[in-house]
Amino acid sequence: MADRLAVDIGGTFTDVVLETADRPVTTKVLTTHAEPADGVMVGVAQVLERAGTNADAVGVVLHGTTLATNALIERRGAKTVLVTTEGHRDVLEMAFENRFEQYDLNIDRPQPLVPRRWRLTVPERMNAAGEVLTPLDSAAVTQLVPRLVEEGIESVAVGFLHGYANPAHEHLVRDVLGTALPDASITLASDVCPEIREFERFSTACANAYVKPLMSRYLADLRDRLNAFGVRCPFLMMTSGGGLCSVETAREFPIRLVESGPAGGAILAARIAAELELPRVVSLDMGGTTAKICLIDDGEPLLSRSFEVDRSYRFRKGSGLPVRIPVVEMVEIGAGGGSLASVDRLGRIQVGPQSAGSEPGPACYGRGGRHATVTDADVVLDRLDPTRFAGGTLHLNVDAARDVVEVDVAGPWGGAQGDVYEAANAVAEVVDENMAAAARAHAAEWGKEIASRTLIAFGGAAPIHAANIADKLELDAVLVPPAAGVGSAVGFLAAPVSYEVVRSRYLRLSAFDQSVLDEVMADMRAEAEAVVGPVAQGELSEIRRAYMRYVGQGFEIAVPAEVGTAEGLRSAFDAAYEQLYGRLIPGLDVEVLSWTLTLLAGSKGTRVHGSSSNARARTSTAAPGNDSRIARQDLPEGNPVVGPVAIVEDQTTTVVPAGFEARVDGYGNVILRRQP
Amino acid sequence: MSKIRDQLVWNRLLAIVEEQAQTLMRTAFSAVVREAGDLSAGVFDTKGAMLAQAVTGTPGHVNAMAASVGKFLARYPLVDLAPGDVLLTNDPWDGTGHLNDFTVVTPVFRNERPVALFAATSHIADVGGRGFGPDGGEVFEEGLRVPIMKLFDKGELDDSLMRLVVANVRDPVVAEGDLYSLTACNRNGGAQLLKAMRDFDLDQLDDVGQWIIDTSRSAMRDEIRGLPDGVYRREMAVDGYDEPVEVSCSLTIAGDRIDIDFAGSSGLSAFGINVPSNYTEAYASFGVRCVLGNDIPNNAGSLEPINVRAPAGSILNAEPPAAVSARHALGQMLPDVVLGCLDQAIPGVAPAEGASCIWNPVLRNLATAGGNFTNAPFVINPIFNGGTGARATKDGLSTTAFPSGVRTTPTEVNEVTAPLIIQRREYRPGSGGAGKYRGGLGQTIEIAHAEGAPFVISKMFERIRHPARGRRGGDSGAPGRVYIKGGEELRGKGQDVVPRGATLVMETPGGGGTGSVGERDLAAKARDEEAGLL
């Protein structure tokens, strides 16, 4: 099998993994923000050299990136206009007309990506059935052209009311502007997100339009440079939904890439779950600023269709820009190693969401951080080896950690007698409880149980806190995979080629019409095949879902729609509803609002782990004593080490508390179990 | 460990009630609950004191529900309740101020002993009678009134009560579905609580509950103690139904407590804009809580130092059988007048007055439309908002609900639900009061029947005759308007028919400005001009 190359561009680092026949080779290089392809090429050259192979050995490149997300957060996208229905210019800004925080008078609502002066209206109107009430005059569209040219507009989003029901007017705008402005990108809301609810649809379309020129340029540039370097193989992009798509699709719908990095992490955890036959898993990806939690059942991560980019107010729901795209459903909270700890005036310890980030970072880094962070608390608790942190490249300053925890936490929390160790312990308890609470709420929201799952922990800070969180969630096992520091890129290697298509087509089960269902499925299948077909190998499989609710309800639930009959849909709905809400409502009719079809190329079942012989060396024979540290590569095979002990490696430390024992499995995973 | 444990339990309770509210919202049938968030959820100790409430929800419900649980316990003492019991009322005086709000209270038992109660309220679109609107003369005209009763007895549904409810409302499916959804969200909350109690090894919640209340109360008292003692007064006239209503408020800060007295306010209205005292207390105390100690979670302790009084028989302390259906129209104006008092005690915190009252017309078909119209029956209750008042150091928010916590309904959803075409719904330039900081803008909404059939609008609008006043030299926001396009002006309250072929126009009010317009930052002014907001 040819070598496979995975590249994950994050905010700080670009991770590159080359999977060769006998071992994975990884590297981490700094992200080069001005020309992201620069960093990628440096990393690619490094792994090829280390692997002792050359460019033409690479059979496929898999790529995920936060560039689109960063452009949205930093508002660095294209000059974008929204062409919309006359009389409805402000949909994008009026949003839900609500405050996401009741008790703070000074909140600001998210700024729309397209300012009012660039929201242009034309006379046209469809009704909810997709019938034309006011025809669109192409002359009205042509009249917009001089203005767009004069303003130097690079990208156009088109969103009309009820365009999901009939996109004809949006198509007309595309035809007219496409001819008049050949260099501008055009995004149709009815293509990106053909679903009812105009604000979310327009928001998604504008976000796509906003990042489209940038992403298109970047992807073309990267492909050219890889080609020039000799990497001429197929090139696939990781999407936020956890599947791979072609570069052409990614250039058309770059909004589908926004959460690709975190999705890669979830896919990694899902693949480990599948390999080890762990039916129920919760993954925890805890870095410097946030923690992301994902539920994985039977090797499949939870998926959904809604996401908010840039929750700028304490990660609060509603404080970001909504986008409706297929996503691996994760909950993200402001809990990371750099999260700041303080005591509020009620005497409560608060951790996050403010973060010291990586610069200046925690006080113990000695880079100018002056406030207590979770990592400082971990240092006070003696969970990290000050001399071996980050592979020994950063010597942790224990006194600095002790000082800030004393000043910021112990003093205000416990008065003069405040004990620094107790305060640090309380900080860790609070942040662990925050993560456990988020996991619990997330599970409840999706009608899932959290108990009896295996916790898979990766990202720099997760293995430090995982056992305590597992304790709070009553979980018996924690798994820390090897190379957890480049988990997302490793995850890309495990992702299938796939593409999800959505259609809003109303169907009431009491008036079920088989031909409507057959037509919508055939239509979606054709669209998905056009995307997946050219890049997929082997057989294709389908996942069909219906978004259903009782007639009169407001929110739909995702229901497996493999049995496409009224009875099949009804029983699938009953099962899904009962699982979510615990009780069916007797005698009510059920309706379907939207349908999705996901087309997957047969997964190749690639192992995420390298061969076990390379996963670690077995050089040590000495069993560690209690309350000690041990290097991960020195863990003895077979006999478990008993907590309390800290297992140290370059990117992270796994804390094994009293009551847990740890061993290494044949894949190089460290597995913690509650002692019998 | 116990010091940090208490805090962790508190955090857990806050998380549990948030889940409870999410469950309610996701399973609700009433559009106004599921799309708009017109609901509340909370957990209470065995004495009926609120320990935690969801921040999802709307203040009128939450703070009124806080007092409501005590009334449930007065009717059904905890010793007489058993696992599986579920209590229900929509009595305006025992619940949250009008018949449309159903409150469900569920006791939670651990080892056979009651340990807590969960309560949840949601707005059910129709409760019979005249329908949601201000035109009734007595509460008896406003629909079905269910006193505090058992909906479930030891897990067994009271079928007689359910049949009575569904027989008396226009949309029985919604009413029945929502009663189940209220029951389900409390049950989920209870299950989560029991799990938390196992996790933290707690047999009862009373001790940690008392600590939560004491801690919150004392933080709130500290906050108040930092303010200058005094009596601060503010008057505000609002439109009322057929004649203006005077709201007269005196806010007394004395040591560590705040007393709010609405003596001098108008007497009862002959129509359904009267406000029961529980709803008056809810919004008056919210006016204080959104500026004072707003980081202290809302519970019995943080609410205790604020006392609200309105004279018996006044419009803000209406007693049965007064009509109260549209009590929100006046209730939502109360934070403006309370903030007007607080502005004198703590300058530079309170925003200017805003549109405040949500504009939520009930739109429905005319029973006998005549002509050749299909005249499909429909009723919707969409929510539109005006602008909020300019903040002390920022512009107001355009088309944003305040103080209500509700969300709006999408145009496309409204048009799927009803045979109406919303021809226009966009910012209303020039409606924000000028000032150093500009008030938020209102919006213009134009609605016609898809077939040109006549239809009915029931209105509960405010600030048509009495615009939102600016603060510290800021201008007033534009008053609201409601009229037939090219035709007559309509009243702000009550029912009217939009004639065949006509277009209804609503212009929601703008918020007031703060500070003199001469001090406005030139760049801000240029931005507004470029965006066409002036």
The answer to whether A236 contacts chain B (CB < 8 Å) is no
pLDDT at B191 over 50: yes
Nearest to A673 by CA among A470, A468, A476: A476
Chain A partners within 8 Å of B3 (Cβ) = 426
The answer to whether A102 contacts chain B (CB < 8 Å) is yes
What lies within 8 Å, CB to CB, of A175 at 6+ separation is: none
SS3 at position A338: coil
Give me the domain span that covers residue B371: 351-534
pLDDT at A619 over 60: no
Any idea which residue has 């929390």 for tokens? A413
Residue B319 forms part of a structural domain: no
Contact A437 B11 (CB under 8 A): yes
Q: pLDDT grade, residue B329 (50/70/90)?
A: very high
Q: What is the pLDDT of residue A623?
A: 38
Interatomic CA distance for residues A387 and A133, integer angstroms: 72
The answer to whether A348 contacts chain B (CB < 8 Å) is yes
Q: Looking at the partner chain, which of B25, B407, B416 has a beta carbon nearest the beta carbon of A128?
A: B416
Interatomic CA distance for residues B350 and B356, integer angstroms: 14
Q: What is the pLDDT of residue B416?
A: 86
The answer to whether A619 contacts chain B (CB < 8 Å) is no
User: For A427, which residue in chain B has the nearest alpha carbon?
Assistant: B4
The answer to whether A162 contacts chain B (CB < 8 Å) is yes
Other Cβ atoms less than 10 A from the Cβ of B246: the count is 14
For a pLDDT cut of 70, what percent of chain B falls above it?
A: 99
Q: What is the pLDDT of residue A614?
A: 36
pLDDT at B332 over 70: yes
Contact A128 B188 (CB under 8 A): no
**8 Å CB contact between A564 and A518:** yes
pLDDT at A617 over 60: no
Interatomic CA distance for residues A200 and A198, integer angstroms: 6
Contact B10 A348 (CB under 8 A): yes
Chain B partners within 8 Å of A554 (Cβ) = 28-29, 31, 33-35, 413
| Average pLDDT taken over every residue of chain B | 94
Q: What is the ipTM of this complex?
A: 0.93
> Which residues share a beta bridge with A591?
A508, A549
Mean pLDDT within B506-526: 97
The answer to whether A428 contacts chain B (CB < 8 Å) is no
Contact B398 A94 (CB under 8 A): yes
Interatomic CA distance for residues A76 and A214, integer angstroms: 9
Q: What is the pLDDT of residue A605?
A: 44
Distance from CA of A335 to the nearest CA of B (A): 15
User: For B213, which residue in chain A has the nearest alpha carbon?
Assistant: A346
Domain ranges within chain A, ordered by starting residue? 75-215, 498-601, 619-674
pLDDT at A625 over 60: no
pLDDT tens, position by position, A25-69: 888 888 888 889 999 999 999 999 999 998 988 988 999 998 899
The two structure tokens encoding residue A549:
């609710």
What lies within 8 Å, CB to CB, of A538 at 6+ separation is: A601, A602, A604
**8 Å CB contact between A614 and A22:** yes
Pairing of strands B379-380, A80-85: unpaired
Task: Supply the DSSP symbol for B469.
Answer: P
pLDDT at A474 over 50: yes
Chain B partners within 8 Å of A87 (Cβ) = 423-426, 446
> Which residues share a beta bridge with A655?
A646
Residue B203 forms part of a structural domain: yes
User: For B57, which residue in chain A has the nearest alpha carbon?
Assistant: A102
pLDDT at A238 over 60: yes
pLDDT at A618 over 50: no
Interface A-B, measured as beta-carbon pairs within 8 A, has a size of 188
Interatomic CA distance for residues B195 and A615, integer angstroms: 40
Q: pLDDT grade, residue A105 (50/70/90)?
A: very high
Q: What is the pLDDT of residue A310?
A: 87
Q: pLDDT grade, residue A551 (50/70/90)?
A: confident
What lies within 8 Å, CB to CB, of B186 at 6+ separation is: B20, B86, B104, B105, B106, B118, B119, B120
Other Cβ atoms less than 10 A from the Cβ of A190: the count is 24
pLDDT tens, position by position, B440-449: 999 999 999 9
Q: pLDDT grade, residue A418 (50/70/90)?
A: low
Rounded to a whole number of angstroms, the distance between the first and last alpha carbons of chain A is: 43
The answer to whether A638 contacts chain B (CB < 8 Å) is no
A 112-151 residues with CB < 8 A to B? 115-117, 125, 127-128, 133
Q: What is the pLDDT of residue B59?
A: 80
A 271-310 residues with CB < 8 A to B? none
pLDDT tens, position by position, A266-298: 999 999 999 999 999 999 999 888 899 999 999
Q: pLDDT grade, residue A624 (50/70/90)?
A: very low
pLDDT at A314 over 90: no
**DSSP assignments along A608-628, one per residue:** SS--HHHH------PPP-TTE
- Tell whether the torsion through CA atoms of A477, A481, A486 and A491 is positive or negative: negative
Residue B339 forms part of a structural domain: no
Interatomic CA distance for residues B20 and B119, integer angstroms: 9
CA distance readout (Å), B228 to B36, B70, B218, B220, B486: 39, 33, 18, 15, 53
A 529-588 residues with CB < 8 A to B? 550-555, 580-583, 585, 588
Among the three residues B182, B200, B216, which one is the final residue of a domain in this structure? B216
Contact B400 A109 (CB under 8 A): yes
Contact B27 A116 (CB under 8 A): no
Contact B290 A105 (CB under 8 A): yes
Q: pLDDT grade, residue A621 (50/70/90)?
A: very low
Q: Name the residue with higher pLDDT: B106 or A10.
A: B106
**8 Å CB contact between A177 and A141:** yes
Distance from CA of B273 to the nearest CA of A (A): 24
Angle at B11 between CA B5 and CA B12, to 5 degrees: 90
Number of domains, chain B? 2
Residue type, A159: G
Chain B partners within 8 Å of A433 (Cβ) = 8, 11-12
Q: pLDDT grade, residue A1 (50/70/90)?
A: low
pLDDT at A189 over 80: yes
Same domain, B358 and B212: no
Q: What is the pLDDT of residue A616?
A: 35
pLDDT tens, position by position, A363-417: 999 989 999 999 999 999 999 888 887 777 789 999 999 999 999 999 998 855 5
Mean pLDDT within A56-83: 92
Work out the burial of residue A146: count CB atoms within 10 Å of its CB; fewer than 13 is exposed, 13-18 middle, 19 or more buried.
exposed
Interatomic CA distance for residues B310 and B321, integer angstroms: 17
Residue A546 Cα to chain centre, angstroms: 23
**8 Å CB contact between B270 and B237:** no
Interatomic CA distance for residues B3 and A223, integer angstroms: 58
Interatomic CA distance for residues B250 and B261, integer angstroms: 5
User: For B185, which residue in chain A has the nearest alpha carbon?
Assistant: A581
pLDDT at A554 over 70: no
Q: What is the pLDDT of residue A417?
A: 59
Interatomic CA distance for residues A640 and A128, integer angstroms: 64
Chain A partners within 8 Å of B413 (Cβ) = 196-197, 554
The two structure tokens encoding residue B491:
């009243």
SS3 at position B442: coil
Residue B311 forms part of a structural domain: no
Instruction: Please state whether the peptide bond connecting residue A560 to the residue before it is cis, i.e. omega within 30 degrees of 0.
Output: no
Mutate to test the interface with A, among B411, B413, B420 (most CBs of A within 10 A): B411
Q: Name the residue with higher pLDDT: A634 or A612.
A: A634
* Helix, strand, coil percentages for chain B (3-state, nearest 5): 30, 25, 45
Chain A partners within 8 Å of B443 (Cβ) = 90, 94
pLDDT at B224 over 90: yes
pLDDT tens, position by position, B434-472: 999 999 999 999 999 999 999 999 999 999 999 999 999
- Cα Rg for chain A, rounded, in angstroms? 26
Same domain, B355 and B212: no
Contact B291 A115 (CB under 8 A): no
Q: What is the pLDDT of residue A389?
A: 78
Work out the burial of residue B485: count CB atoms within 10 Å of its CB; fewer than 13 is exposed, 13-18 middle, 19 or more buried.
middle
**DSSP assignments along A170-210, one per residue:** HHHHHHHHHHH-TTSEEEEHHHH---S-HHHHHHHHHHHHH
Q: At what angle do helices B172-199 and B159-167 cross, to 10 degrees?
A: 140
Contact B410 A196 (CB under 8 A): yes
Chain A partners within 8 Å of B332 (Cβ) = none
Q: At what angle do helices B206-225 and B2-27 cross, to 10 degrees?
A: 90
| Average pLDDT taken over every residue of chain A | 88
CA distance readout (Å), A636 to A272, A383, B465: 22, 21, 82
**8 Å CB contact between B497 and B378:** no
Helix (H) or strand (E) segment spanning residue A301:
strand A300-301
pLDDT at A445 over 50: yes
pLDDT tens, position by position, B133-158: 999 999 999 999 999 999 999 999 99
Q: What is the pLDDT of residue A620?
A: 32
pLDDT at A603 over 60: no
For a pLDDT cut of 90, what percent of chain A falls above it?
A: 58
- Among A26-40, A480-494, B507-521, which range has the highest average pLDDT? B507-521
Q: What is the pLDDT of residue B35?
A: 66
Distance from CA of B264 to the nearest CA of A (A): 29
User: For A199, which residue in chain B has the nearest alpha carbon?
Assistant: B410
**8 Å CB contact between A157 and A209:** yes
Mean pLDDT within A531-539: 79
SS3 at position B224: helix
Q: Name the residue with higher pLDDT: A498 or A626.
A: A498
pTM of the predicted structure, to 2 decimals: 0.91
